[in-house]
Amino acid sequence: MNDLHVSWDEYHRLIERLALQVWESGWSFDAVVCLARGGLRIGDVFSRLFDKPLGVLFTSSYRADAGTRRDALLIGEHLASARPLPGPRWLLVDDLVDSGETLLHVLPALRERHARLHEIRSAVLWRKGASVATPDYFVEHLPANPWIHQPFEEYDHMRPAELKACRDR
């Protein structure tokens, strides 16, 4: 299993491909919900492109060993948004489905917490082969389950002093 290294340019192209896939499907939705942290950038772009309000739900499962080992899934208690999200149809976006556990637990949690929600679809950049869940939309299927190195991960171990040293060179 080789690691997959993704540049900023490729990352943005994947988001755009996913957006076009959703748009070309003809499915209409009322709001975008992104899973933080991995889905934040995707949610922001989708909210802007589709001109829909954005909600953020915090989840966490990769906390051990510097974010490389999965722990028990934590789902935030509240959906953050400036005002209640409209309509009965929401699009849930995230960066990937790895094991699929997050998707399997978040979708019913949202339905249970938001009675007006009648339909929710999911969209991700990557679907790994080991996933027990299949999102409605995804750009790349990765049957070999590589570890994905996303471009923003460079900030995981960098601190402001190191950033300054890099900028001063």
Is pLDDT above 90 for 72? Answer: no
* Maximal CA-CA distance, the chain: 54
What percent of the chain has pLDDT above 90? Answer: 84
Check residue 16 and give its pLDDT: 98
Is pLDDT above 90 for 129? Answer: yes
Helical spans, DSSP H, in 28-158: 40-50, 101-113
Q: Are 142 and 4 in contact (CB under 8 A)?
A: yes
Is pLDDT above 90 for 71? Answer: no
Is pLDDT above 60 for 155? Answer: yes
Residue range 39-65: mean pLDDT, rounded: 90
Domain locations in the chain?
4-168
Could you read off the pLDDT of 88-111 as tens digits, one per residue?
A: 999 999 999 999 999 999 999 999
Is pLDDT above 80 for 65? Answer: no
Residue range 41-55: mean pLDDT, rounded: 98
Q: What is the mean pLDDT of the chain?
A: 93
Assign 116 a pLDDT band (cuts: 50, 70, 90): very high
Closest CA to 122 of 10, 16, 39, 5: 39
Spell out the CATH class of 4-168. alpha beta
Residue range 35-60: mean pLDDT, rounded: 96
Check residue 89 and give its pLDDT: 98
